[in-house]
Amino acid sequence: MPTTKLILFEHKAKKNKEAPIYLRLIKDRKPKYVSLKLYILPKYWDEDGQKVKPGHPNSTRMNAYLVERTNDAMKSLLDVEIDDPNAPAIALKQSVMGVAPEDFFTYAFRFIKQYESKGKIGTYRRFKAVLTKLQTYTGPKEFNFNQFNIKFLQEYENHMRGTLKNQPNTIVSNFKAIRRIINEAIKENYILPKRNPFANYKLFWEPSERVFLTEEEIDALANLKLDPESMKYHHRNMYIFACHAGGIRISDLIQLKWENFTSDHILLSTQKTGSVISVKLPKKALEIIQQYYSEDVPKDDFIFPFLDKTDKLKDPKILHARISSITTYTNTDLRDLAKAAKIEKHLHFHTSRHTWATRALRKGMRIEYVSKLMGHNSIRTTQIYAKIVNADLDKAMDIFDEEPPVKKKAKKSSKK
């Protein structure tokens, strides 16, 4: 059962040394505090009696107000308890303050705003798309946290799979975004951990094929004769560079400046994870980067010629739009380049990351180093590439099960 207590917050005293009186609510050992907008000097506060001492000129009026607020609070708390015994402490505070419980979408859209304010526009837009799709399904009415349960998740999964024809991994991505918001709401005591619908709802990610290039295919792409003034030339160079230089993401390569480059290293803070990585460039990567270098090049110039310093790139939305446009253009060119190089694979820039990772593991680089250079938050992500390499090694071992070719006996020549 929730309890209440009147407390004087002396640590929040104003300059005139008057301190505010708060009403403390406790539910499941979790306290919440409601300001009563009353201030008094500490010498007038009776802590044991939870009231203003008679020496204060307005003690009678103030104590009557405190009793009224405490009684109203207890009534509100009991009403909430009867309606929902599992209501979290935040719901009790909202009830006492006369605030309606926040619905899921109000909370969720406010939560994802943090990504926009931090300049993580891609993340913000992904979450927004997930929430908009969910809101289309639930309808215009308020959707409360307590409406999230296993039954609802099953129905929504069936809707995405059947009506929307979403692929299994698309469904999982949607649920991961929703789960992220639910987990944050639990941290902020909007809902109790035991009411988390995802606690007993399993998400199954289907492994997708990782497309990567062989050494021969990398060489075929690198050796294509292209016009140095064409965008295809620069798109190809950036792709081959990534295949040799740690599989750096295209968003980071597009923004790479000469100030990130030393004689043989690239040092950068990755846009996606914020991790700082230092990549020593092998010979073939250096050969590409030297094509763009000159003695008088300004340090704040971009290495690859896609962004211009005159762009209003300080605006995260403008920067994100430019990077998205360049990425689309690059991927279109890569498909054409693959055909020209007779590579029968669906090429897009992210395959350069797959290519570098599989090459690194095949050459014996430790998986922890591969993970660090790729900026992975978890080594489990990197282990996907280890499985690819192991599968190739298993296939290579099959030669020992192959039957040796039967040698035909040479016919004896008949002597006359």
Domain at 340, CATH number: 1.10.443.10
Per the domain annotation, does 413 fall within a domain?
Answer: no
Per the domain annotation, does 322 fall within a domain?
Answer: yes
Same domain, 321 and 367: yes
Distance between CA 60 and CA 20 in Å, rounded? 17
Per the domain annotation, does 254 fall within a domain?
Answer: yes
- Provide φ and ψ at 257, rounded to 5°: -115, 165
Per the domain annotation, does 411 fall within a domain?
Answer: no
Same domain, 80 and 113: no
Same domain, 64 and 155: no
**Which residues neighbour 358 within 8 Å (Cβ) at sequence distance 6 or greater?**
210, 212, 385, 388, 389
Query: What is the mean pLDDT, run by run of 10 residues, along the chain of 416 residues?
Result: 86 93 82 86 94 92 89 75 62 56 84 90 94 94 85 96 94 96 84 82 82 93 96 97 92 94 87 80 94 91 89 83 95 97 94 88 80 69 62 54 60 54
Same domain, 40 and 141: no
- Provide φ and ψ at 159, rounded to 5°: -65, -45
Q: CA angle, corner 47, sides to 46 and 49, nearest 5?
A: 70
Look at residues 373, 376, 348, 350 and name the one whose alpha carbon lies nearest to residue 363. Answer: 373
Instruction: Please give the distance of CA 48 from its chain centroid, rounded to a whole number.
Output: 49
Q: Contact 352/247 with Cβ under 8 angstroms?
A: yes
Same domain, 236 and 310: yes
Please say whether the dihedral angle defined by the alpha carbons of residues 270, 274, 278 and 282, taken in this order, is positive or negative: negative
- Provide φ and ψ at 207, rounded to 5°: -55, 130
- Provide φ and ψ at 51, rounded to 5°: -155, 170
Per the domain annotation, does 209 fall within a domain?
Answer: no
Distance between CA 210 and CA 350 in Å, rounded? 10
> What range defines the domain where residue 73 resides?
3-97
Same domain, 237 and 359: yes
Q: Contact 244/281 with Cβ under 8 angstroms?
A: yes
- Provide φ and ψ at 347, rounded to 5°: -95, 130
Q: Contact 16/40 with Cβ under 8 angstroms?
A: no
Same domain, 93 and 108: no
Same domain, 254 and 178: no
Look at residues 302, 321, 314, 317 and name the one whose alpha carbon lies nearest to residue 254. Answer: 302
By the 10 Å C-beta count (0-12 exposed, 13-18 middle, 19+ buried), 123 is classed as middle
Same domain, 255 and 188: no
Distance between CA 205 and CA 364 in Å, rounded? 28
**Given this model, what pLDDT does residue 10 score?**
93
Look at residues 185, 182, 105 and name the one whose alpha carbon lies nearest to residue 150. Answer: 182
**Given this model, what pLDDT does residue 21 score?**
93
Distance between CA 95 and CA 100 in Å, rounded? 7
Per the domain annotation, does 414 fall within a domain?
Answer: no
Model pTM score: 0.64
User: Could you say which of 38, 67, 97 is where a domain stops?
Assistant: 97
Distance between CA 177 and CA 132 in Å, rounded? 12
Same domain, 260 and 345: yes
Per the domain annotation, does 65 fall within a domain?
Answer: yes
Same domain, 76 and 111: no
Angstrom CA distances, 416 to 257, 409, 410, 412, 413, stand at 84, 21, 18, 12, 9
What is Dmax (Cα atoms) for the chain?
142
Question: Structurally, how many domains does the chain consist of?
Answer: 3
Same domain, 137 and 35: no
